[in-house]
């Protein structure tokens, strides 16, 4: 028999209860073609060796095999608190490797990506930004067994009565709902508040719903598949008729992050009076969560895990441009990585020996600061497993360009693709990729559907790559000194 979910536990301060139900997810952004949307995984064979081109990944075979070995340790739960550091020149696929790692772990494992400069904010502390990112990368899978009424709606009849508060108008006294399953039917007499929840879900006769017995929450699952051929053009999701009885015990699985629980408790919904509404409007967009509140939430999470109701799911935190962090952030990372609730951390940096931010003005270093490999303190660097990325060869650049052309739906002539590959080898892969979409616009303007060699040559006159821009600046500087 499944263990029912325990009630919310009051915090030590006695000021309320810990909210274990996170706020509803925000509306998802419209999907678009992103820089790494073609990456579907690390592209490894069954024996762990990297294939030449697989799952959208090309090249970087040694780095992919290293991350594949790291992935097997993550799946066994044996690599928490041991970060991976990806080092290499710009445009060598460090972010793509982190995205591939998250794809391999699956959509149920949280992935949080950030850039080192994101910690600098005028609203909250640097350590608070890092702490919230750590909590975003730790998932909690809650399994609750609830009594529900589930079935296809066969009847939805609200009953009206005279309004007791005034002599005018009528109010809903109760609502009659008929539910049908494969095994039988049942008629329910429900409270008016449940009818409001039914209206919010826009439930009509023929929909499959379930109603939680203890809270009265209503969830619309979809339209019954008996109505699947009702229209020529369908815009509904059809589901089969539920099996079993209408009244049943059902196990519900919910995936949330610790950050969701932090926000639900740091910004609980206030009342409907004018002061509560004004307070919510005036309050800033970013809320700083106290350590005391996080400790109380961790106690409730630990209790859930001990009772077998919840399961902790460590995710991946990817910090790009990690050299942008300062000594205060690195000190916080040393402590956070040793915590029992720590995600798998992946760093990335394209710097060599450089100054650690925040040490420039310390006494005794002559104003230069402490210089360290990749701008990371040696004690944190000693914890990292370092993976090196190499510059791409011309053939690999051409294969990546072909992949991006398929993803973005751009037709490019072979000669133009060779020219772009030459540009990628001469300047950078990013520059070659950036020329794809403008070249397709130039081709469409000329009335062609395929990008030609002339279109790419025209763009080279309009845009400069990094090396040509540097040469122009050097010539200007030389001419200025001459005069």
Question: 18 lies in a domain?
Answer: no
One domain for residues 153 and 120: no
**Rounded average pLDDT over 40-52:** 83
One domain for residues 379 and 459: no
**8 Å CB contact between 157 and 219:** no
Judged by average pLDDT, the poorest of 104-118, 179-193, 284-298, 427-441 is: 284-298
One domain for residues 406 and 319: no
Write out pLDDT tens, residues 236-263.
778 888 888 888 887 777 888 888 888 8
Write out pLDDT tens, residues 377-398.
998 888 888 999 988 888 888 8
Write out pLDDT tens, residues 338-371.
887 788 889 999 888 888 888 877 655 556 778 8
Q: What is the pTM of this model?
A: 0.69
Q: Which residue has the tokens 């559907």?
A: 449
Counting Cβ atoms within 10 Å, is residue 73 exposed (0-12), middle (13-18) or buried (19+)? middle
One domain for residues 400 and 459: yes
Question: 5 lies in a domain?
Answer: no
Judged by average pLDDT, the poorest of 11-15, 250-254, 265-269, 365-369 is: 11-15
Longest dimension (CA), the chain: 96
One domain for residues 249 and 149: yes
Residue 31 has pLDDT above 60, yes or no: no
**8 Å CB contact between 267 and 178:** no
Beta strands in 163-229 (DSSP E): 170-180, 185-190, 207-212, 218-224
Q: Is the four-CA dihedral 49, 52, 57, 63 of positive or negative sign? A: positive
Q: Which residue has the tokens 């009051």?
A: 10
Q: What is the pLDDT confidence band of residue 424, given thresholds at 50, 70 and 90?
A: confident
What pLDDT sits at residue 179? 92
Q: Which neighbouring-strand residues pair with 146?
A: 250
Write out pLDDT tens, residues 52-99.
888 778 888 888 888 888 888 777 766 666 788 999 888 888 888 888
* CA–CA separation, 386 and 83 (whole Å): 9
One domain for residues 195 and 126: no
Write out pLDDT tens, residues 213-232.
888 888 888 888 888 776 65
Question: 452 lies in a domain?
Answer: yes
Write out pLDDT tens, residues 111-130.
888 888 888 887 788 888 89
Last residue of a domain, one of 350, 367, 388: 388
Judged by average pLDDT, the poorest of 17-31, 292-306, 328-342, 351-365 is: 17-31
One domain for residues 153 and 249: yes
**Rounded average pLDDT over 474-480:** 80
One domain for residues 163 and 233: yes
What pLDDT sits at residue 5? 44
CATH number at residue 464: 1.10.8.60
* CA–CA separation, 381 and 229 (whole Å): 62
Task: Give the chain's mean pLDDT.
Answer: 80
Counting Cβ atoms within 10 Å, is residue 219 exposed (0-12), middle (13-18) or buried (19+)? middle
Cα distances (angstroms) measured from residue 310 to each of 141, 142, 252: 5, 4, 11
Last residue of a domain, one of 207, 238, 255: 255
What pLDDT sits at residue 275? 46
* CA–CA separation, 399 and 403 (whole Å): 6
One domain for residues 322 and 418: no
Residue 480 has pLDDT above 80, yes or no: no
Most confident of 28-42, 242-256, 271-285, 431-445: 431-445
* CA–CA separation, 348 and 87 (whole Å): 6
3-state DSSP call for residue 337? Answer: helix
Question: 278 lies in a domain?
Answer: no
What pLDDT sits at residue 79? 63
Judged by average pLDDT, the poorest of 151-160, 267-276, 281-290 is: 267-276
One domain for residues 416 and 458: yes
Question: 38 lies in a domain?
Answer: no
Cα distances (angstroms) measured from residue 373 to each of 112, 253, 348, 349, 380: 25, 45, 13, 10, 11
Identify which of 281, 350, 341 has the alpha carbon closest to the alpha carbon of residue 85.
350
How many domains, in total, are found in the chain? 3
One domain for residues 174 and 96: no
Report residue 345: phi and psi, to 5°.
-105, 135
One domain for residues 114 and 167: no
Q: The domain containing residue 462 runs over which residues?
A: 394-472
3-state DSSP call for residue 287? Answer: coil
What pLDDT sits at residue 268? 56
Last residue of a domain, one of 206, 226, 255: 255
What pLDDT sits at residue 87? 92
Question: 284 lies in a domain?
Answer: no
Judged by average pLDDT, the poorest of 111-115, 141-145, 164-168, 270-274 is: 270-274
Question: 272 lies in a domain?
Answer: no
**Rounded average pLDDT over 273-302:** 68
* CA–CA separation, 437 and 417 (whole Å): 13
Identify which of 304, 303, 359, 354 has the alpha carbon closest to the alpha carbon of residue 328.
359
* CA–CA separation, 143 and 473 (whole Å): 62
Residue 274 has pLDDT above 70, yes or no: no
Question: 44 lies in a domain?
Answer: no
**Rounded average pLDDT over 126-150:** 87
Report residue 140: phi and psi, to 5°.
-135, 115
């Amino acid at each position: 028999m499944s263990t029912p979910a325990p009630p919310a536990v009051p915090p030590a301060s006695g000021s309320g209860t810990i909210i274990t139900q996170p706020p509803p997810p925000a509306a998802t952004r419209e999907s678009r073609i992103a820089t790494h949307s073609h990456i579907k995984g690390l592209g490894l064979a069954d024996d762990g060796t990297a294939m030449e081109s697989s799952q959208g990944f090309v090249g970087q075979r040694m780095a992919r095999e290293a991350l594949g070995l790291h992935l097997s340790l993550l799946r066994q739960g044996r690599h928490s608190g041991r970060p991976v550091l990806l080092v290499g020149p710009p445009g060598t696929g460090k972010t793509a490797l982190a995205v591939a790692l998250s794809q391999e772990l699956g959509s149920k494992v949280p992935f949080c990506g950030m850039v080192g400069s994101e910690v600098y904010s005028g609203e909250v502390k640097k350590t608070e930004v890092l702490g919230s990112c750590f909590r975003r990368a730790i998932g909690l899978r809650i399994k609750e067994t609830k009594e529900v009424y589930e079935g296809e709606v066969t009847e939805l009849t609200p009953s009206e009565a005279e309004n007791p508060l005034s002599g005018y108008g009528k109010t809903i006294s109760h609502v009659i709902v008929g539910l049908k399953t494969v095994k039988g039917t049942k008629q329910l007499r429900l409270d008016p508040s449940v009818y409001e929840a039914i209206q919010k879900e826009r439930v009509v006769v023929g929909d499959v719903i379930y109603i939680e017995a203890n809270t009265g929450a209503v969830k619309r699952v979809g339209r019954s598949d008996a109505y699947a051929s009702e229209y020529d053009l369908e815009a509904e999701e059809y589901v089969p008729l539920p099996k079993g009885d209408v009244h049943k015990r059902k196990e519900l699985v919910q995936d949330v992050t610790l950050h969701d629980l932090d926000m639900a408790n740091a910004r609980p919904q206030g009342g409907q009076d004018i002061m509560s509404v004004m307070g919510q409007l005036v309050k800033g967009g970013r809320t700083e969560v106290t350590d005391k509140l996080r400790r109380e939430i961790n106690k409730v999470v630990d209790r859930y895990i001990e009772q077998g109701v919840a399961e902790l799911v460590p995710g991946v935190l990817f910090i790009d441009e990690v050299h942008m962090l300062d000594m205060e952030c690195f000190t916080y990372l040393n402590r956070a990585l040793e915590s029992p609730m720590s995600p798998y951390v992946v760093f990335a940096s394209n710097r060599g020996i450089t100054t650690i931010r925040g040490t420039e003005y310390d006494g005794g270093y002559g104003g230069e600061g402490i210089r360290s490999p990749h701008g990371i303190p040696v004690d944190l660097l000693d914890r990292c497993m370092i993976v090196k990325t190499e510059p791409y060869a011309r053939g690999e650049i051409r294969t990546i360009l072909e992949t991006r052309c398929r993803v973005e739906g751009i037709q490019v002539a072979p000669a133009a693709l060779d020219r772009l590959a030459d540009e990628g080898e001469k300047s950078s892969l990013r520059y070659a990729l950036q020329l794809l979409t403008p070249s397709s616009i130039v081709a469409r303007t000329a009335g062609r559907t395929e990008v030609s060699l002339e279109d790419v040559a025209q763009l080279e006159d309009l845009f400069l790559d990094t090396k040509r821009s540097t040469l122009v600046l050097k010539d200007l500087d030389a001419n200025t000194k001459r005069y």
